Amino acid sequence: MIGQLSPPASFILSSDTCSNAIVEPKKKCTVELAFAPATVQGRMSEDLVIPYNGTSPSETLEGDGVAVTLKAPSLKRLPGADAGSVGKTANIRISNRSAATVQLGSASGLADFTIITDGCANASLAPKASCVVTVEFAPADGTSGELTSVLGYDFTYGANSGSVAVTLKGKVE
């Protein structure tokens, strides 16, 4: 009789016909596991111990943890505007360059820039998909010079998380 299977920490048991089963001669049972590392980088190897009638053979499981990569411009310069007015809009595309679906949060606060449309806030971004945020430069009365702000989103994928940020610049005319 096979005892209760317990997967190693970086794997999730998705299907199991073996735990607490009696396997007759020339018959088989099936175990399916998914790789779900708590940390994302590098090759991992762990043993699945199979408790069986006093002996416990094991099977080595391996997987490669790869970090999610969101691509966005590091800097976006918007057309200048007079203090107290609104400049032209600009689109910013954020792309998921990984094989994992990413759940984005809401945008971080901006100073002197306004989000007009936000296709990224709270979006579930599938692998190789992208979303677009439209922003405008809106410098407050009494401001001058070049103004800078950061548009940022936190994101999660599985048990992991990260963030993506774009520096926005605009010049008060």
State percent of the chain over pLDDT 90. 55
Q: Taking the model in full, what pTM does it have?
A: 0.66
Neighbours of 56 (CB within 10 A): 11
Rounded to whole angstroms, the Cα distance separating 153 from 3 reads 45
Rounded to whole angstroms, the Cα distance separating 58 from 6 reads 12
Q: Please, are residues 155 and 164 in contact by the beta-carbon 8 Å criterion?
A: yes
* Segment 4-13 mean pLDDT: 85
106 pLDDT higher than 80: yes
pLDDT tens per residue across span 133-161:
999 999 999 999 999 999 999 998 877 78
Q: Residue ranges of the domains in the chain?
A: 11-65, 70-171
- The CATH classification of domain 70-171, taken from the options 2.40.220.10, 2.60.40.10, 3.30.450.90, 1.10.1660.10: 2.60.40.10
Q: Is 78 exposed, middle or buried (CB count within 10 Å of its CB: 0-12, 13-18, 19+)?
A: buried
